[in-house]
């Protein structure tokens, strides 16, 4: 029962709460959803930029390096989409029903863009959110 109530709570990750021991008061312009989504975005950037083997406590945490020239472009996009979805579903408990789609290239062939659609729990209810990701120079960034 305690685990169920902790999953329904909104808020930042443990280390974000420890770094700011005073209760976080959202600015008047920030809704609880905006605070949670901002925390999720920060976590996704950290999560997707980590690689398996770099965490002693969770060796499989993160994404593989996809710089394999033997994989075709379409296979590469599909593999990255699946890896992003799997990583988020496994290591970001605040979101559910994750779907990842690739977005059209914006003219730079070395950049890949993805859009993550997910459901975020808000107490007893939930809401849908979209997060835009950019893979550029082996690093993931949130665009929104």
Q: What is the pLDDT of residues 9-47, one digit of tens each?
A: 456 766 666 676 555 555 556 778 888 889 999 999 999
Question: What would the two tokens of residue 6 be?
Answer: 């902790």
pLDDT (average), residues 38-58: 89
Question: What would the two tokens of residue 143 be?
Answer: 């665009």
Supply the pLDDT for residue 87. 94
Among 13-17, 75-79, 96-100, name the most confident range.
Answer: 96-100
> What's the predicted TM-score (pTM) here?
0.75
Is CATH 3.40.50.300 correct for 2-142?
no
Supply the pLDDT for residue 89. 95
| Contacts of residue 26, Cβ cutoff 8 Å, sequence gap at least 6 | 32, 34, 35
Instruction: Say whether 106 sits in a helix, a strand or coil.
Output: coil
The phi, psi pair for 112, rounded to 5°, reads: -120, 135
% pLDDT > 70, the chain: 73
CA proximity to 39, closest of 96, 113, 136, 120? 120
Using CA atoms, how far apart are residues 123 and 11, in angstroms rounded to an integer?
Answer: 10
DSSP one-letter string for 10-69: ----HHHHHHS-SPP---TT--HHHHHHHHHHHHHHHHHT--TTS-SS-TT-S------T
Question: What's the whole-number average pLDDT of the chain?
Answer: 80
pLDDT (average), residues 45-55: 88
Range with the poorest average pLDDT among 38-42, 51-55, 61-65, 130-134: 61-65
Give the domain ranges of the chain.
2-142
pLDDT (average), residues 70-84: 79
């Amino acid at each position: 029962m305690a685990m169920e109530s902790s999953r329904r709570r909104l808020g930042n990750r443990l280390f974000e709460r420890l770094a700011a021991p005073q209760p976080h008061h959202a600015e008047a312009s920030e809704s609880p959803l905006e605070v949670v989504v901002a925390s999720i975005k920060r976590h996704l950037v950290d999560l997707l930029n980590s690689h398996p083997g770099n965490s002693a406590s969770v060796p499989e945490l993160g994404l593989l390096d996809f710089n394999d020239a033997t994989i075709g472009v379409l296979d590469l996009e599909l593999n990255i989409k699946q890896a992003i979805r799997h990583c988020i579903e496994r290591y970001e408990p605040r979101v559910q029903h994750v779907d990842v789609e690739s977005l059209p290239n914006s003219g730079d062939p070395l950049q890949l863009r993805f859009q993550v659609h997910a459901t975020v729990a808000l107490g007893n209810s939930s809401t849908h959110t979209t997060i835009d990701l950019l893979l550029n120079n082996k690093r993931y960034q949130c665009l929104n």
